[in-house]
Amino acid sequence: MTLAARLLLGFVLIAAVGFYFLVRDTLKRVERQYLEALEEPMIDAANILAASLEQDIREGMMDASNFAATFRAAKERKFDARIYEVNKRQVNLDAYVTDEKGVLLFDSANLVPVGSDLMGRRDVRLTLKGSYGARSTRTDEKDDDSSVMYVGAPVRHEGRIIGMVSVSKPQRAVFQFRDETQKWLLWHIGLIVFCMVLGSYLLARWAARPVEKLTAHAEAIARGERPAKPNLAGKDMRTLGEAFEKMRDELEGREYVEEYVQTLTHELKSPVAAIRGAAELLAEDPPAAQRQKFLTNIGQETHRLQDLIDRLLELSSLEKRKGLEDQKEVNLSAIAIGAVDHLMPMLQRRGLRIESEIAPTVMICGDAFLLEVALMNLLQNACEFSPQGGLVKLTVQRNAETVHCTIEDEGPGLPDYAIERVFDRFYSLPRPSTGHKSSGLGLCFVREIALLHQGSVSLKNRPSRGAIATLVLPVSKTPRVAA
């Protein structure tokens, strides 16, 4: 899992838990607020109705007939009131009246027969005792929204409570408003959460981008490429990038010296042993013909040592470069033609034929000298492995983003065991014509030059006979400058 994904996941989990409790408590508070808003006007209504009943008391007894007629008339009224998104078309406020003993005198909802004892109900019992009496009762125990709220008010005569009136209203009436508010809250909270998650994602990507660049940089180095130091935002990340580059240089330097000492020691053993053996034989004063043979061997091995050291120094200088310093737009077609002309004496001496399919004026950005060295090494390698009178074919083609330079020969091709090692330092195969090996550094030059141009090089067998080397160079992307 990427760093950005970890940061985003951690934030989402924390935000999800926080918003869950926030939304849960907020929705509960919304419901409570609506119930409180419902209860307050019901208290007013109960006391108004109680005052109305007190006006109809005769001889200390309540007369609920006018009260009942008023309620029946109100229930029959039709109207159309739009309260924001909710339409109200009839009265849904009910009431019942009891005497001082809790005996029912009137019920507008006709839920309980007149004469029933309601003293067991909380609103009746507390109101007749002079306290605030209210209750909420479900009509369906399985339905949370079926609750009906009851609020009572005492009916007094000469300072004495002689009865009570309790108004009731289904809570479902206000739950419509509650549901609308909850939908609004959920929509806007969801929108806020979405914006926060999106913003967190972008922030996580921004925060993790430098780490991703460093990771890609390290992976490119591990693949043997020569990537430029990544451009990192922020002082801390730039400091980290610079420290990474210093560490890379230190590690590469140690590995470089260790590997070179081992490989160079191995390569020097053979010519040094040959020179030593020839010198020992010369000390025995051999015949003139043998002396001349030993001297020739010493000269050849000395020349081989000198060539190995010179090329090794050149390769070492090339490998230490992190980018191209002298780069400009060059004509690769002209460079390819020049490389063929330079090797023409060798081709004629070997009796080799060459075919060239070079696209006219292929312009790329790079180092002309290094590109010529790369093409000449590939062409020379093809010539050395081609049989007498064989054909070497050079092709330079350009597509939308890259240039492909291919060199084909009709030699024996690559053994299976050598395919993965041909670009290693000092690795060389015997030439078919002489049986001798080269310094094993030519293809290393080509690989380093390709990497400096942000390109690649490959060498593989042809389907029929021979090998094909392919140098791929970018066209649309400008090679990097040394850091």
Mean pLDDT confidence for 471-481: 65
Model pLDDT, residue 20:
76
pTM of this prediction? 0.44
Looking at 292-296, 302-306, 334-338, 478-482, which range is the least confident one? 478-482
Half-sphere exposure (CA, 13 Å, Cβ side) for 163?
26
pLDDT of residue 293: 77
Average pLDDT over residues 1-12: 69
Helices 235-282, 172-222: inter-axial angle, 10-degree rounding:
20
Banded pLDDT at 478 (limits 50, 70, 90): very low
59: alpha, beta or left? (left if phi > 0; alpha if psi -120 to 50): left
Contact between 38 and 169 (Cβ < 8 Å) = yes
Beta strand 94-99 with 160-170 is antiparallel
How buried is 457 (Cβ within 10 angstroms: 0-12 exposed, 13-18 middle, 19+ buried)?
buried
Residue of 19 and 119 predicted with greater confidence: 119
Q: Which domains does the chain have, with CATH numbers?
A: 18-180 (3.30.450.20), 228-320 (1.10.287.130), 324-483 (3.30.565.10)
Report which of residues 58 and 15 the model is more confident about: 15
Predicted confidence band of residue 2 (pLDDT cuts 50, 70, 90): low
* From 166-170, 174-178, 375-379, the region with the lowest mean pLDDT: 174-178
Has residue 435 got a pLDDT over 80? no
Please tell me the distance from the alpha carbon of residue 160 to that of residue 309, in angstroms, as a whole number.
124
Residue 126 pLDDT greater than 90, yes or no: yes
Per-residue pLDDT tens for 438-466?
A: 666 778 778 888 888 888 889 898 888 88
For residue range 345-398, list pLDDT tens digits in order. Answer: 878 888 888 888 888 888 888 888 788 888 888 888 888 888 888 888 999 988
**In contact, 118 and 134? CB cutoff 8 Å:** no
Structure tokens at 410: 């009709």
